[in-house]
Amino acid sequence: MSTSETTPSPALPAASALDRLALMATFVRIVEAGSLSAAAAQLGTTQPTVSRRLQALERSLGLRLIQRSTHAMQLTEDGQRCLERAKALLADWEAFESDLRGRGEVAEGRLRVVVPHAMGQHHLMAPLAEFLHAHPRVDIEWLLHDDAHGLIAQGVDCAIQVGEVTDTSLVAIRLSSVERILVAAPQVLAGAEAPSDPQDLAGLPWLALRTYYRADIELHHRDGRQSRHLALRPRLSTDSLYALRSAALQGLGVAAVSAWSVTEDIAQGRLLHVAPDWVAPPLPVFLLYPPAPHYPARLRRFVEVFRRAMPPTLAG
d(CA 236, CA 251): 12
- Report the share of the chain in percent with pLDDT over 90: 59
- Torsions phi, psi for 172 (to 5 deg): -125, 115
Integer CA distances (angstroms), 49 to 37, 169, 258, in order? 10, 16, 39
d(CA 102, CA 4): 52
d(CA 292, CA 202): 48
DSSP 71-139: S-EEE-HHHHHHHHHHHHHHHHHHHHHHHHHGGGGS--EEEEEEE-HHHHHTTTHHHHHHHHHH-TTEE
- β-bridge pairing 207-209 and 216-221: unpaired
Q: At what angle do helices 297-309 and 125-134 cross, to 10 degrees?
A: 140
- Asked whether the predicted pLDDT for residue 17 surpasses 90, the reply is no
d(CA 187, CA 190): 5
So what's the pLDDT on residue 151?
64
- Asked whether the predicted pLDDT for residue 187 surpasses 70, the reply is yes
Give which of 84, 80, 147, 137 is closest to 117, Cα–Cα: 147
**Predicted confidence band of residue 55 (pLDDT cuts 50, 70, 90):** very high
**Residue 143 CB-density burial (10 A; 0-12 exposed, 13-18 middle, 19+ buried):** middle
- Asked whether the predicted pLDDT for residue 98 surpasses 80, the reply is no
Integer CA distances (angstroms), 302 to 9, 67, 139, 176, 201, in order? 48, 31, 11, 16, 43
Identify the DSSP state of 16: P
Q: What are 211-242's pLDDT values in tens digits? A: 999 999 999 999 888 999 999 999 999 999 99
Enumerate residues 6+ apart whose C-beta is below 8 A from 306: 124, 127, 131, 160, 175, 287
- Asked whether the predicted pLDDT for residue 152 surpasses 70, the reply is no
So what's the pLDDT on residue 41?
81
